[in-house]
């Protein structure tokens, strides 16, 4: 979790922090550090979600641009080639 910091090094850091800040101030510092880390994690997740949404949106836009668009003349020509029923056929 801490990389190259082992248990003995972590204990030394905690003892030094206890000596510098005292037993009353240390829990308060721990809480504020925890809040800061959770806020940072929330903000980074929010940024990641926003980037994922933007990427998905851009992919959809690029997919829509790549589809061939039929011209109105081609659409009308395809309708004319389809035989239509006359009113006498429907009866």
pLDDT tens, position by position, 42-90: 999 999 999 999 999 999 998 888 876 555 555 555 555 555 565 555 5
Q: For 8-47, how does the pLDDT look when each residue is reduced to its tens digit (9 = 90+)? A: 898 898 889 889 988 889 889 889 989 999 999 999 999 9
Q: Which alpha helices (DSSP H) does the chain contain, by range?
A: 7-66, 72-80, 87-90
List, in order, residues 6 or more apart from 29 with CB less than 8 Å away.
17, 21
**Do residues 38 and 29 lie in contact, with contact meaning Cβ atoms separated by under 8 Å?**
no
| Distance in angstroms between the alpha carbons of the first and the last residue of the chain | 81
The structure's pTM equals 0.50
For residue 89, the model assigns a pLDDT of 55
How many CB atoms within 10 Å of residue 21? 14
């Amino acid at each position: 979790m801490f990389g190259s910091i082992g248990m003995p090094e972590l204990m030394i850091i905690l003892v030094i922090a206890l000596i510098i800040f005292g037993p009353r101030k240390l829990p308060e510092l721990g809480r504020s550090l925890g809040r800061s880390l959770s806020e940072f994690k929330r903000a980074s997740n929010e940024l990641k979600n926003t980037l994922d949404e933007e990427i998905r949106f851009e992919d959809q836009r690029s997919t829509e641009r790549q589809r061939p668009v039929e011209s109105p003349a081609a659409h009308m020509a395809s309708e004319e080639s389809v035989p239509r029923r006359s009113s006498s056929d429907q009866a």
